[in-house]
Structure 1
Amino acid sequence: MRSGAVIAVALLSACAAAPIAPPPPDELLRDALFGPASERISAKDVFALSGAMKRYLRQDLAGAMATSGPRQALIDAVSQGQLKLEYDSVRTRTAAEAFEARAGNCLSLVIMTAAFAKELGIEVQYHRASIADMWSRDGNIYFLNGHVNLSLGKRYVDPRTLYDAAELMTIDFLPGRELRGLRTEPVEEATIVAMFMNNRAAEALVRGRLDDAYWWVREAMHVGPAFMGAYNTLGVIYMRRGELELAERVFRRVLAQEPGNTR
């Protein structure tokens, strides 16, 4: 039976850094409660380049790379309109899907840009933004929205100067007026992948595909065990399945890791 309660899901949660969590314990996962996924769920797909993306680098971007270098050519392509990218929050896309659609939310566009950068041998650093809580609603589910961006630059061997600010170029897909005063913290690529999986789980929840939502969030927990947003989503999934005791156990785990996070 579909729950009538208002439920909150952390979508690209922007909480402060939490203590590193161990891999998800088996007692929090209940595979037997869910049917098989209706779509492929694999972390390997997130940054994978399609044939069209590789051709774009070889053909369309070749001239600009020869003139201004790979990093500047890529920055111009994603920020100056050459790719004609559009913001679309309906679905979180892989790198290949975002390129094909020429659209995506901030996470999708960051993933696409990073996939190109890694193919070109450009160093990538990901950032999670500290922003005021932004909530959205779909039916009886509330979503806490967050934001990410990325920087492209040169990595130094000296650990005291891991990145030189002069060598970093930050790409952000928010409008310029929304970037003023934006504070960020670095996150690992595994966390970006976990965010992607968690977003897909939330999107499956909205469409009523509870089995898919479970398998997406399960993958998120394995890829990024320190990302508590995925645990929160798992608790919501258990609530929807009527497993309230399991949901409570998961939420208690989140609060144990992030005592100050009551969102």
Structure 2
Amino acid sequence: MKNWGVLLFSVMLVACATAPVPQRSEALFRDHLFAAPSERISADDVFALSDDMKHYVSAEIAGQLRAKGPQRGLIDALYDKTQLKLEYDAEMTRNASQTFAARAGNCLSLVIMTAAFAKEIGLPVRYQKVLVDDAWSRSGDMYFASSHVNLTLGIGHIGDRVIDYETAPMTIDFLPPEDIRGRRMRVIGEETIVAMYMNNRAVESLAQGHLNNAYWWAREAIERDPRF
């Protein structure tokens, strides 16, 4: 129970943090109470391209990117049902290379993979959190709240502001257009996307009973964006 309390306290601090960003405090963490993680936990892996992804860009879709332009070419290459044939999968949150290998991911995983490709070909990326009510689900004795993110290609980060969906050109979203039409979105930074990924992995580890891993994922989420 002691370890659970530490982990949940850390997660609550993330949710409640507000600007200005607080100075890092080692008192927030209790590393000595947890064993080392059994898997690699590194922000460097989130957007890293695998060799297969690099080959996909440089060889398989290079002509399409030249013919259609980088924005339209990348969107068609990834999300045209006749090409990569990605599937939505909420089973786990994957990083960019895992999503590409599985050809599947949840909305955050697909955003991360798309952003990784966009950055590889020099396209600016902007991330947005869609302002909709959280979706709640239950697994055993645990309840989960899920939010929704998307991204816009060709436009860089413009600060923390709220925008309309209709005013964001080249926005890629994995919900049907009718579900988000008229919604507003808050622009978020890449550090928040990374923290969201780490937080998701913490929750997934916790649900699987891997308490030590959950702590280290949650710790890394706080390190990446204390305001998230």
Contact 2:89 2:104 in 1 (8 A): yes
2:69 aligned with 1:69: yes
Contact 1:23 1:222 in 2 (8 A): no
Answer with 118-127 or 167-176: which moved more.
Answer: 167-176
Q: Which residue of 2 aligns with 1:184?
A: 185
Q: Which residue of 2 aligns with 1:216?
A: 217
TM-superposed deviation, 1:176: 2.4
Return the structure number with greater relative CO, CA threshold 8 A, min gap 6.
Answer: 1
Could you report, residue by residue, the CA deviation over 1:26-53 in whole angstroms, capped at 9, with x for unpaired residues?
2221001101100000000000000000
Q: Which residue of 1 aligns with 2:119?
A: 118
TM-superposed deviation, 1:24: 4.2
Could you report, residue by residue, the CA deviation over 1:121-178 in whole angstroms, capped at 9, with x for unpaired residues?
0010000111123101111111111000000114599xxxxxxx98831000112232
Query: Superposed, which structure 2 residues align to 1:21-60 within 5 Å?
Result: 21-60=21-60
> Identity of aligned pairs, percent?
53
Query: Superposed, which structure 2 residues align to 1:235-246 within 5 Å?
Result: none
Specify the SS of the correspondent of 1:147.
strand
Which letter maps to 2:138?
Answer: R
Q: 1:169 to 1:53 in 2, by over 3 A?
A: same
Bigger-Rg structure (1/2): 1
Which letter maps to 1:20?
Answer: P
Q: Which residue of 1 aligns with 2:171?
A: 170
Give TM-score scaled by structure 2 length: 0.85
Specify the SS of the correspondent of 1:55.
helix
Specify the SS of the correspondent of 2:133.
coil
Q: Which whole-Å CA distance do the structure 2 matches of 1:191 and 1:49 have between them?
A: 20
- The count of residues paired between Structure 1 and Structure 2 equals 212
Q: 1:134 to 1:156 in 2, by over 3 A?
A: closer
Q: 1:174 to 1:156 in 2, by over 3 A?
A: closer
Runs of 4 or more consecutive aligned structure 1 residues displaced over 2 Å after TM superposition: 15-21, 154-157, 165-168
Q: 1:121 to 1:20 in 2, by over 3 A?
A: same
Contact 2:131 2:185 in 1 (8 A): yes
Q: 1:156 to 1:114 in 2, by over 3 A?
A: closer
Contact 1:128 1:187 in 2 (8 A): yes
2:103 aligned with 1:102: yes
Q: Which residue of 2 aligns with 1:92?
A: 93
Q: Which residue of 1 aligns with 2:132?
A: 131
After superposition, the CA RMSD in angstroms is 2.7
Give TM-score scaled by structure 1 length: 0.74
Specify the SS of the correspondent of 1:212.
helix
Q: Which residue of 2 aligns with 1:79?
A: 79
Structure 2 runs not aligned, ≥5 long: 3-7, 159-165
Q: Which whole-Å CA distance do the structure 1 matches of 2:214 and 2:138 have between them?
A: 17
Q: Which residue of 2 aligns with 1:145?
A: 146
Q: Which whole-Å CA distance do the structure 2 matches of 1:132 and 1:91 have between them?
A: 21
Q: Which whole-Å CA distance do the structure 1 matches of 2:189 and 2:90 have between them?
A: 23
Q: Which whole-Å CA distance do the structure 2 matches of 1:126 and 1:23 have between them?
A: 25
Q: 1:156 to 1:172 in 2, by over 3 A?
A: closer
Structure 1 runs not aligned, ≥5 long: 3-7, 158-164, 228-263
Q: Which whole-Å CA distance do the structure 2 matches of 1:113 and 1:182 have between them?
A: 22
